[in-house]
Amino acid sequence: MSQQLALLGGRPVRERPFTSWPIFGEREEARVLGALRSGRWGRLDGKEVSEFEERFAAMHGCQYGIAIVNGTVSLRLGLMAAGLEAGSEVIVPPYTFFSTASAVIEANMVPVFADVDLATFNLDPRAVEAAITPRTRAIIPVHFAGQVADMDAIMAIARKHDLLVIEDAAHAHGASSKSGPVGSLSQLASFSFQSSKNLTCGEGGLLTTNDAKLAAECRSLHNCGRIPTGVWYEHHLISGNYRLGELQGALLNAQLERLDEQTKTRDANGQYLARRLKDLPGIHPQQRPDFCTRNAYHLFMLRIDGREFGAPRAAIIEALRAEGVPCSPGYGFSLPQQPMFRNRAFGPYLPGIAEGLDYQQARYPNSDLLCQEQALWLEQAMFLGPREDIDDTYRAFEKVHENRTALAEWSRR
Ligand SMILES: Cc1ncc(COP(=O)(O)O)c(C=O)c1O
């Protein structure tokens, strides 16, 4: 007889917390203090941000890196840098954070959704192909949860239709495929350093590229339309000040020392948990395609088929939490179902175009299924601990499954 669920009064599998985030120490203190004491706090005064840009871009197979205030603005500037006309259609997944699509609208372009694949949770290239119209100009694949999107297939579609591709790599620092590191797999890529991310300075973003012209355009766009040969009060483009500050640059330089080791640990632990979980009925961890050589595991994401498992997702999540394993169902609905899209609350953007858009007709069954019934997320920091942490996590899933009948009964009450 298996032990009683903690939710029903039994002893939890896990009574200690998992690794907390962020991780920092003397290295970060010294570097940030150095930047503070230098008195050079702005990007144009010091060397921290420029050093970070070079190091981060090089780690991701790129010649150019442009640090930006956050990963939402970097996506928008990437779209603007490419010089796409207002009203261009940009294909994005419906299963992603708001910014992947909101950045498109804030660049005065039209997000067009293409469904994700139920095995990898990434943009399905067949859905991308089906979403192309004469107005399509760009695709934004997201390396969701840190798993590399099918970039070879997406780039082949882009070449065929002459489209720009911007990787949304907000979850994928240090991830790679057989074709190279994320960030270098298309014309441009956008990263985020917001608090929860695998590399963080609280708030921050960065664009990578190997295209000198795009790099110059992004640099100008993030610096009030200035150009390298211009004088200080000379502005060539409509834009704003989106520069990252030196204190954040200093923190990122120190954190970057940890990234490679942390990414290896997350990848090893993530693969280990996926191997252990895959034989539990109804549990389907994100699949790793053959081309993936490193998953950044910003999230360990899986699908729960409640019928196969024998209890519904909401109850399983409650039970896992009670066992000491923090987890969440993730997004509550696909992006087109967000009030912003339902109400076309696009502010001053897309004049003359917004009224003709209707995001309520099309359906994205895979994304809807993940949101409404099946997705479960475990956060990245849990994967930085020792193997016993992963064994405890597995044991919690196993215990919940062993007690599925009692759990299903509890959930019906
Ligand atoms: C997939 C994705 N894209 C873009 C962003 C935006 O990044 P930021 O929060 O730095 O603006 C996020 C952040 O959560 C994200 O998860």
Query: Does residue 101's CB lie within 6 angstroms of at least one atom of ligand 1?
Result: no
Nearest atom in ligand 1 to 194's CA: 10
pLDDT at 353: 97
Give tens-digit pLDDT for 102-152: 999 999 999 999 999 999 999 999 999 999 999 999 999 999 999 999 999
- Determine the atom of ligand 1 nearest the C-alpha atom of 75: 4
Residue nearest to atom 10 of ligand 1 (CA): 71
57 and 63 Cβ atoms separated by less than 8 Å: yes
Is 213 among the catalytic positions? no
In percent, the amount of the chain with pLDDT more than 90 equals 99
Question: Which residues are within 8 A (CB) of 257 and not within 5 positions of it... i.e. 6 or more apart?
Answer: 27
Ligand 1 pocket residue status of 72, Cβ below 6 Å: yes
Cα angle at 374 between 368 and 376, to 5 degrees? 115
Q: pLDDT band for position 413 (50/70/90)? A: confident
Q: Is 381 inside a domain boundary? A: no
Asked if 78 and 218 count as a contact pair (C-beta separation under 8 A), the reply is: yes
pLDDT tens, residue by residue, 160-193: 999 999 999 999 999 999 999 999 999 999 999 9
Region 194-223: mean pLDDT is 98
* Domain assignment present for 137: yes
Residue 397 has what pLDDT?
A: 98
Phi and psi at residue 299, to the nearest 5°: -130, 145
How far apart CA 288 and CA 270 sit, in angstroms, is: 11
End-to-end CA distance of the chain: 23
Return d(Cα 90, Cα 165) in angstroms, integer: 9
Q: Which amino acid is at 88?
A: S
Residue 1, pLDDT > 70, answer no
Q: Residue 269 in contact with residue 387, Cβ under 8 Å?
A: yes
Does residue 395 form part of some domain? no
pLDDT reported for residue 305? 98
pLDDT, tens digit, 9 for 90 and up, residues 90-104: 999 999 999 999 999
Q: Residue 198: which domain range?
A: 26-256
Structural domain count, the chain:
1
Assess whether the C-beta atom of 102 lies below 6 angstroms from ligand 1: no
pLDDT per residue as tens digits for the range 10-56: 999 999 999 999 999 999 999 999 999 999 999 999 999 999 999 99
Cβ of 85: how many Cβ atoms within 10 Å?
9
Residues 192 and 76 sit within 8 Å (Cβ to Cβ): no
Tokens 């109804």 -> residue: 282
**Cα–Cα distance for residue pair 202/287, rounded to 1 Å:** 30
| Domain assignment of residue 100, yes or no | yes
In a domain, 355, yes or no: no
Residue 232 lies in a domain: yes
Structural domain includes residue 406: no
Torsion of CA 47, 103, 217, 236, to 10 degrees: -100
Q: What is the largest CA-CA distance in the chain?
A: 77
- Residue carrying the six token digits 């205030």: 69
CATH number, domain at 211? 3.40.640.10
Closest ligand 1 atom to the C-alpha of 74? Answer: 11
In a domain, 10, yes or no: no
Q: Is the pLDDT of residue 346 over 70?
A: yes
- CB of 96 within 6 A of ligand 1: the answer is yes
Q: What pLDDT digit, counting tens, does each position of 246-300 carry?
A: 999 999 999 999 999 999 999 999 999 999 999 999 999 999 999 999 999 999 9
Give the span between the Cα atoms of 150 and 64, in whole angstroms. Answer: 23
